[in-house]
Amino acid sequence: MNIDHEYRTDISNGWTRKHILGLQDLSKDELNIILNQASEFKRLAAIGETKLTPLSGTVVANLFFEPSTRTRVSFGLAAKRLSADTVDFSSSGSSLSKGESFVDTAKTIEAMGVSYVVVRHKTPGAPQLLAQHLDANILNAGDGTHEHPTQALLDIFTIREHFGKIEGLTVTLVGDILHSRVARSNIWGLKKLGAHVIVCGPTTLIPSEISNLGVEVSNNLDDVISRTDCLNLLRIQFERQRGHFFPSIREYAHLFGMNKQRINKAKEDVLILAPGPINRGVEITPDVADGPHSVILGQVSNGLIIRMACLYLLHLQRTASLGIPG
């Protein structure tokens, strides 16, 4: 099979960025290049072209300093679909095992012939740090409470797939905005593509300065639901709450959970997204999660092609900068 030419031309034209560290840095055009590239991979997958070869002979390292099975598997599979070899490093404990710093660890792994590094870390800025110290192209797979660009891109991709556009839509992010890297990345991406973004949650979980990012702030889901085209229900991370951000799970579910009653107040074609493992009965009731408005599983498969698109674009940049003909 030789379909390489097709996905190499025009779609990716204009991609020059070495790293994907967050959506704050990316322009509208760059966001569209990634989304279009992902569409192309989705089209190829639909016609059975699941094993592509552009990255054959290269090594992608997945450095996971924070546990996440789903994201790690998704990135690993994305690399394999593009025929890259992969090395995995995961360490859930302290990233600073005595004497060896995070950068040292990454450099050691890079020395094994790695060209692309996918990094997940509990410290905000960790991918930026690697970008300063490594030659490899860095792809941020989530840095603390800072950004999670591929998750946001897959959310945005899913929304665009459903509505055929982003511009003019109203997207409401519900839940723990304070601790959410997914929310931050989504806000940057959605705003640049022309959406109106509402963040909605208890006052304790919405940073007061968030409105300066150009989003609308609401503490009442019922007030905003009827104007919302897409609801993105962020996961409540119980381990971060330690009991003082809201009084009880029951009360949270009562105020911000998505259930039948609320669906009835929503637009007829409202789209419901939920990144990551959901707490059924908290952010969303099972009937809604499995109902017609929800695209939760579709998000998972879109995650794979978004990650393929990101790796592929980094590969294009690398070969171009090394002067290897495309």
Residues marked active site are found at 70-71, 98, 120, 148
CB count within 10 Å of CB 224 equals: 19
Using the rule CB under 8 A, is 212 a contact of other proteins?
yes
Using the rule CB under 8 A, is 145 a contact of other proteins?
yes
Least Å distance, CB 187 to other proteins, is 10
The span from the CA of 107 to the CA of 193, in Å, is: 36
The contact pattern for other proteins, residues 235-274, with x = CB under 8 A and - = no contact, is ----------------------------------------
The span from the CA of 19 to the CA of 117, in Å, is: 10
Using the rule CB under 8 A, is 128 a contact of other proteins?
yes
Quick one: which of 66, 110, 147, 176 contacts other proteins (CB under 8 A)?
147
Q: Which token pair is 5? A: 């030419």
Quick one: which of 207, 276, 281, 291 contacts other proteins (CB under 8 A)?
207
Least Å distance, CB 93 to other proteins, is 13
272 beta partners: 231, 294
The contact pattern for other proteins, residues 7-26, with x = CB under 8 A and - = no contact, is -----------------x--
The span from the CA of 326 to the CA of 313, in Å, is: 12
For 170-207, letters b (16+ CB in 10 Å) and e give: bbbbbbbbbbbbbbbbbbbbbbbbebbbbbbbbeebbe
Using the rule CB under 8 A, is 210 a contact of other proteins?
yes
Is-contact 252 282, C-beta < 8 A? yes
Quick one: which of 123, 218, 219, 237 contacts other proteins (CB under 8 A)?
123
Residue number, 207 or 281, with CB nearest to other proteins:
207
Using the rule CB under 8 A, is 101 a contact of other proteins?
yes
Of 39-47, 209-217, 267-275, 290-298: span binding other proteins (CB under 8 A): 209-217
β-pairing, 230-233 vs 170-174, is parallel
Least Å distance, CB 98 to other proteins, is 11
Closest C-alpha among 181, 197, 173, 112 to residue 142: 181
